[in-house]
Amino acid sequence: MIKRLELQTTARIQLIDITAQVKGMLRNEQMPSGIVLVYVPHTTCGITINENADPSVKEDITTLLGKLVPADENYRHAEGNSDAHIKASLLGSSVTLILESGSLILGTWQGIYLAEFDGPRKRSVLIKIIPG
């Protein structure tokens, strides 16, 4: 079974901590262990795991990605969002996590982030539990 988390982003570029929502979707499951796949079915949006204790980490990530892949580069893709496609490819469209004893295993400072690069938009995050 696939669960769907729907989000509305509010800026062109932003990282949104979705850790609590993902954990909440797993609470009612009767599966004590397995693999959890978190996937975004979008080409201008990514998913990543990183520190969620210090908000400046999000700013550092988006700032550096902006320097590496500037929005105003001379891209061939004519929709004006080529940078978003490249940034999403760099971060990736999924993360894989471990579910043990009914709990999601994350490091002390880790959080799951939806990475928006072409917002604001309505976004979906798909969550699949694979028994194990």
Q: Is a pLDDT exceeding 80 seen at residue 127? A: yes
**pLDDT bracket for residue 48 (50, 70, 90):** very high
DSSP string, 78-117: TTS-HHHHHHHHHH-SEEEEEEETTEEE--TTEEEEEEES
pLDDT recorded at residue 132? 83
- Mean pLDDT, the chain, rounded, equals 94
pLDDT recorded at residue 121? 97
Taking the CB of residue 36, how many other CB atoms lie within 10 A of it? 23
Q: Check: pTM over 0.75? Answer yes or no.
A: yes
pLDDT recorded at residue 1? 84
Q: How many structural domains does the chain have?
A: 1
Identify the CATH number of the domain in which residue 96 sits: 2.60.120.460
**pLDDT bracket for residue 32 (50, 70, 90):** confident
Which range of residues forms the domain containing residue 76?
Answer: 2-131
- Mean pLDDT of all residues in 66-79: 92
Taking only the tens place, the pLDDT of each residue in 83-123 is 999 999 999 999 999 999 889 999 999 999 999 999 999 99
